[in-house]
Amino acid sequence: MSNQSGEHIHWADDGRGQREVFLDGERIDCVTYCDTKAGIAVVADTPLRSTDGKHIDFHPVWGEITVIPMEGA
């Protein structure tokens, strides 16, 4: 992953409120991290799964990432 600072980096607990994340124009859910500059997002498997019984499984996706703040969040 790239440098963890800057407006192009978003993660679940960065203090900037709820946002909608789009990958190539399609809304994606369960995003824990994304970098709009690098075009990568880390997404939880849906439905939520755990192969080791302790941690939720995640996978990366690549493409044009757009992040939009949610109104009232």
Question: Where do the domains of the chain lie?
Answer: 9-69
Q: What is the dihedral of CA 28, 26, 51, 34, to 10 degrees?
A: -60
Over 90: is that where the pLDDT of 73 sits?
Answer: no
Nearest to 65, CA basis, from 40, 42, 46: 40
Over 60: is that where the pLDDT of 2 sits?
Answer: no
Alpha carbon distances (Å) from 34 to 3, 14, 17, 42, 53:
12, 11, 14, 6, 25
Amino acid at 31: V
- Decide if 41 contacts 47 (C-beta within 8 A): no
Per-residue pLDDT, 1: 46
Over 80: is that where the pLDDT of 72 sits?
Answer: no
pLDDT band at 4 (very low <50, low <70, confident <90, very high): low
Q: pLDDT digits over 11-62, tens only? A: 988 989 999 999 999 999 999 999 999 999 999 988 889 999 999 999 999 9
